[in-house]
Structures are given as C-alpha cells and as structure tokens.
C-alpha cells in the first residue's frame, strides 16, 4: 500500500514532505572547513560558512536540509515523524538526493547537503542508506561541497567510521538534556547509545589529526567537527542543568557546537507540556548567549548560574547578569585592563575587545576614541573607565545599573510585538535614536520651526 503511494509521488511532494520533516533540526551551519576547489569537480568550502537564504522564521538556509525518509520505527513523543502519527510518508532514493544536491548547488541555492533520517527497519539499515547516498554523491557525482550527516545511534561503528571519511560534519542528537527526560519522552532511545557514537567520532577526529600531521594527504575524518542539539522546554530541566550539560559536551566530547531548539508542540500528548505562549524562544535565546560566553568569553557554567539561581534573568542577558552581581571587579580601566577582563564587560564583544587592545598600543583611548573605533557604549559605559574617568556620573550600584539597563529593554518590549528583536551584530548602534519627542519639539513642529 505504502509503496503504491510513494511511487505516485512527484519529486515536489517528496521534497515538501521530507524537508518539512527535517525542519526541526536546528544545525544548518556550513562552517568549519576551508577547502579549495580542485579545479575539476564541483564545490569548495569556506571556513566561515555561507548562508544562502533566510526563511520566513528568520533562520538561515545554508544546506539542503532533508530527511532520507520520514518512516520511523521509534515513537518519540515530541517528534512529528513518530510511528504512531498518521502523516504522509516518503522516501528518497540515493540518486534523487544526489541529483537534487548537485542541481541546487550549481545554481548557488545551497552550500551542501544536510542528511538526516527516520529509522527505517533498524539503525544499521538506515545508516547504510545514508552512507550509500553520501558515497554516491562524493564518488559518482564528484561533489566537493559541504556535507553534514547524522550518525544514527545504535548503528555499527564501522559504518559511522566510513561515513565520517566522506562527511565534513557529523552530529548525534542528544535530543533532551538529561537521561531522565529521554526515558520519559523517547522510550526507544538511551543516553548510552547516543553518547557512544559521539565518543567514537571524537576519537576518530583526534586520531585523524595525528595522521594528518604525519601524512599530509591522509583522508580527512569529519574535518568540520561534531555538533549536537537538544530540545529546550519539553522536559522540566532548568537552565543551570542545561548549560552544565553543554559545558561537559564541549570539554569532554570536544564538540564544535551545541544547538538548542525551543520545543515546538507538534503532537498532542499528555506527557508534553502545554505552551500557551508559543515555543520558549527567549529561553533559547538566553541559552545561546550563555553558550557563546562559554565558548568565546572564558566563562564557566558555574559562574553564570548556580543551584540557588538556576534560571537566566528574563530582563538581563547572561553577561549583564553576571556583571551586576560582581561589581567588585568593576569598573574596568580600558587603557590597562587585560584582554580577558575587557571581554567580560557587558556590551563589548570579541571584535571590540580586540580593537581596543590593538588601538591602545598607539594611543591612549578616551570615550570619543572608543566610539570612533566602533565600540558600542550603551551598556558598557556603566562598567568602564578611560584614564580613570567614567563617561557620565553613573553609580556603581546594582539597583541603579539594572534599572538603567532594563529601561531600554522596556521600551523595546513595547515596540516589538513579540517582546524580542533579534538584530544582526553591527558596529554602529542606532537603536538609541528612538527618543520620544519632547513637548518643546512638538511645539516647534506646530510653529513650523522644525
């Protein structure tokens, strides 16, 4: 019966079903690998990655993100493709996936392929299908672009090893932050079987690095590193647990990225939380901010949160939150403080901190100079001094600073309909222009002076 259906399906239907089924996978980055073209085959990779489009939810479209099939023998409660759901099912053939990838790539629609899959028959069979597809893509279609594949937990380690030599990035989904949550919502999955391939890939990458040091032309194994993702808000874990898990993954499994996915209630199930306010997007946002602090700013999870304060502040971002609780370390003198300390000032990022450290070698910096080199002072001004001076007469008191930092957030909340506006990082800060006109201003308008 099902065979009949899938035979009648057009490519359009299949792509629609299988990209729709893959959309809750967050990892859509094409970064981490720098590979020049070889002058013959199609494709190259840029370390920074390339986003080719942005969908209506504002997420980037970088890879052709599809499932090989949305048939699944598992029955995870949070998943749209679970066995007990009555939804249209479809399966690609390896050739179809390759053809689609090549044609899209040629037209510069995508940066490569992201291939995941529901579990068909058993993990081994599924992994074999994935491997066959990637093998075909690399060897017959001679595709040299970016490939991200999922390692299926429970599959034969040899299959994962072989796939790793063809892929740029591999990932194993952690699904939920704790083993307990996994047991409740994904009865067929076990924490152990998830961590096993993760460890295997980690070891593979380390060994491969040693090989490459010895033999320059040794084949690359998962050159773009390994990532994972977990669903936030489907189970009752707190933020402290989640960032501890993330920190562990970075330290012990040397992951490149951990992705957080705000839980979207796609199934009706009594074990799933009701989310009247929609997916917990603000929480996801705060976790990503904290994730950045862990990876690039030298913070530790236990500095950001603790058992007594297990959740992030809704009003303040994690760095502001940390700073106002550690005022004894401020103000920071811009002209003398070490790079690591400048990095801890709210509102100053990696780029600004680098610029400060570089620029202060040739000239002493005052606030004007900071503005000129593109450092945004809106939040930083409460925490820094230039040659011993604060920018304004601000007090170094927790209440005072919090009030000022959040005053702006309130205005934003009134303006933006969802309470959050995401902005791409930019050098120049133009949100301060939204000042309300004063009575004098409106008078001037009436008099025709303005």
Partner 1 sequence: MEGTGTENIILICEDSMEGILTGIYEAYALRMPHDKISLQIGEEANFRLFTTYRKVVPEAVKAEKVMRTLKQRFWEKDYHDLFMALAAGDNRKAEAVYKTVVWGLSGKCKGSILAHMTDDAVRTVVELARRAGNELQRMREFLRFSEMENGILYALIGPKDNVLPMVTAHFADRLPMENFLIFDEVHNLYAIHPAGKEWFLMSGNVVEDKEDRTMEMSATEEYYQELFRGFCHSISIESRKNLKLQMNMLPLRFRPYMVEFQKK
In terms of CB distance, is 426 or 449 closer to partner 1?
A: 426
Does the footprint of partner 1 cover residue 373 (CB under 8 A)? Answer: yes
The residue among 191 and 360 lying less far from partner 1, judged by its C-beta, is 360
Q: 120, 129 in Cβ contact below 8 A?
A: yes
Residue-by-residue DSSP string for 48-62: T----EE-TTS-EE-
**Cβ(162)–Cβ(131) under 8 Å?**
yes
* SS3 state at 330: coil
Q: Is the dihedral of CA 299, 303, 306, 312 positive or negative?
A: negative
For partner 1, which is the closer residue by CB, 154 or 347? 347
Contact yes or no for 243/304 (Cβ under 8 A) = yes
**Cβ of residue 68: shortest distance to partner 1, in angstroms?**
16
Of the listed pieces 101-109, 250-258, 310-318, 339-347, which binds partner 1 according to CB under 8 A? 101-109
Is 232 a binder of partner 1 (CB under 8 A)?
A: no
Number of neighbours of residue 43 by Cβ within 10 angstroms:
21
Query: Which of the residues 61 through 100 are near partner 1 (CB under 8 A)?
Result: 61, 64-65, 100
Q: Within a 10 A sphere around the Cβ of 20, how many other Cβ atoms?
A: 17
User: Is 279 near partner 1 (CB under 8 A)?
Assistant: yes
User: Does residue 106 bind partner 1 (CB under 8 A)?
Assistant: yes
Of the pair 43, 123, the CB lying nearest partner 1 is at 43
Give min distance, CB of 59 to partner 1, in A.
8
Compute how many residues bind partner 1; rule: CB under 8 A: 65
Interacting positions 113-152 with partner 1 (CB under 8 A): 145
Half-sphere exposure of 386 (CA within 13 A, CB side): 16
- Rounded-to-integer distance, Cα 386 and Cα 294, Å: 27
Instruction: Classify 142 in phi/psi space as left (phi over 0), alpha (psi -120 to 50) or beta.
Output: left
When the beta carbons of 323 and 386 are compared against partner 1, the nearer one is: 386
Among 8, 57, 328, 430, binds partner 1 (CB under 8 A): 57
Spell out the alpha helix ranges (H) of 258-397.
Answer: 281-296, 301-304, 318-325, 339-342, 350-359, 367-372
Q: How far is 311 from 411, CA to CA, in rounded Å?
A: 24
- Closest alpha carbon to 404 in 430, 425, 383, 420: 383
Biggest distance spanned by C-alpha atoms of the chain: 81
Q: What are phi and psi of 388, to 5 degrees?
A: 85, -5
Does residue 358 touch partner 1 according to CB under 8 A? yes
Q: Does 51 bind partner 1 (CB under 8 A)?
A: yes
Task: Please provide residue 80's backbone torsions phi and psi, each rounded to the nearest 5 degrees.
Answer: -65, -30
From 50-58, 86-94, 146-154, 199-207, give the range in contact with partner 1 by CB under 8 A: 50-58
Comparing CB distances to partner 1, the nearer of 58 and 338 is 58
> How far apart, in whole angstroms, are the C-alpha atoms of residue 17 and residue 9?
10
Q: Give 215-228 as a 3 state SS string.
A: CCCCCCCCCCCEEE
Restricting to residues 253-272, which ones interact with partner 1 according to CB under 8 A? 262, 264
Site string for partner 1, 157-186 (x = CB under 8 A): ------------------------------
- State in angstroms the smallest separation of the CB of 424 from partner 1: 5
- Going residue by residue from 322 to 351, which x/- string records binding to partner 1, judged by CB under 8 A? ------------------------------
* Contact between 43 and partner 1 per CB under 8 A: yes
Which range, of 46-54, 130-138, 180-188, 379-387, touches partner 1 by CB under 8 A?
Answer: 46-54
> Going residue by residue from 17 to 36, which x/- string records binding to partner 1, judged by CB under 8 A?
--xx-xxx-----------x
Listed in sequence order, the residues at least 6 apart from 48 whose beta carbon sits closer than 8 Å to its beta carbon are 31
Asked whether position 355 contacts partner 1 by CB under 8 A, the answer is yes
The residues of the shown chain that bind partner 1, judged by CB under 8 A, are 11-12, 15-16, 19-20, 22-24, 36-44, 46, 48, 50-61, 64-65, 100, 103-104, 106-109, 145, 262, 264, 278-279, 281, 355, 358-359, 361-363, 365, 369, 372-374, 416, 418, 421-424, 427
């Amino acid at each position: 019966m099902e065979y009949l259906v899938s035979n009648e399906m057009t490519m359009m239907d299949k792509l629609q079903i299988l990209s729709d089924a893959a959309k809750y996978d967050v990892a859509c980055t094409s970064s981490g690998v720098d590979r020049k073209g070889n002058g013959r085959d199609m494709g190259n990779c840029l370390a920074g990655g390339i986003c080719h489009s942005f969908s209506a939810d504002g997420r980037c479209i970088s890879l052709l993100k599809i499932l090989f099939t949305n048939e699944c023998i598992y029955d995870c409660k949070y998943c749209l493709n679970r066995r007990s759901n009555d939804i249209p099912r479809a399966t690609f053939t390896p050739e179809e996936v390759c053809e689609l990838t090549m044609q899209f790539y040629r037209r510069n629609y995508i940066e490569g392929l992201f291939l995941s899959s529901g579990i068909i028959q058993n993990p081994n069979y599924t992994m074999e299908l994935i491997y066959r597809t990637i093998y075909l893509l690399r060897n017959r279609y001679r595709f040299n672009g970016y490939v991200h594949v999922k390692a299926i937990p429970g599959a034969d380690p040899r299959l994962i090893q072989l796939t790793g030599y063809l892929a740029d990035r591999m990932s194993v989904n952690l699904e939920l932050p704790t083993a307990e949550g996994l047991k409740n919502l994904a009865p067929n999955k076990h924490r152990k079987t998830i961590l096993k391939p993760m460890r295997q890939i980690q070891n593979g990458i380390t060994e491969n690095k040693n090989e490459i040091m010895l033999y320059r032309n040794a084949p690359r194994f998962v050159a773009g590193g390994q990532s994972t993702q977990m669903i936030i808000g489907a189970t009752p874990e707190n933020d402290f647990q989640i960032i501890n898990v993330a920190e562990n993954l970075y330290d012990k499994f040397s992951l490149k990225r951990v992705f957080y996915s705000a839980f979207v209630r796609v199934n009706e199930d009594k074990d799933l939380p009701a989310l009247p306010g929609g997916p917990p997007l603000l929480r996801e946002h705060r976790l990503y901010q904290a994730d950045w602090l862990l990876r690039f700013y030298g913070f530790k999870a236990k500095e950001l949160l603790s058992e007594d304060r297990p959740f992030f502040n809704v009003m303040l971002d994690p760095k502001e939150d940390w700073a106002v609780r550690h005022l004894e370390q401020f103000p920071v003198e811009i002209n003398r403080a070490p790079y690591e300390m400048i990095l801890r000032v709210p509102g100053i990022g990696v780029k600004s901190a680098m610029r400060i450290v570089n620029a202060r070698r040739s000239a002493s910096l005052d606030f004007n100079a900071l503005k000129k080199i593109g450092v945004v002072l809106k939040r930083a001004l409460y925490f820094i001094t230039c040659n011993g001076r604060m920018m304004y007469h601000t007090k170094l008191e927790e209440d005072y600073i919090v009030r000022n930092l959040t005053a702006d957030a309130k205005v934003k909340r009134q303006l933006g309909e969802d309470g959050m506006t995401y902005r791409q990082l930019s050098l120049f800060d133009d949100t301060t222009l939204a000042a309300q006109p004063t009575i004098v201003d409106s008078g001037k308008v009436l008099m025709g002076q303005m």
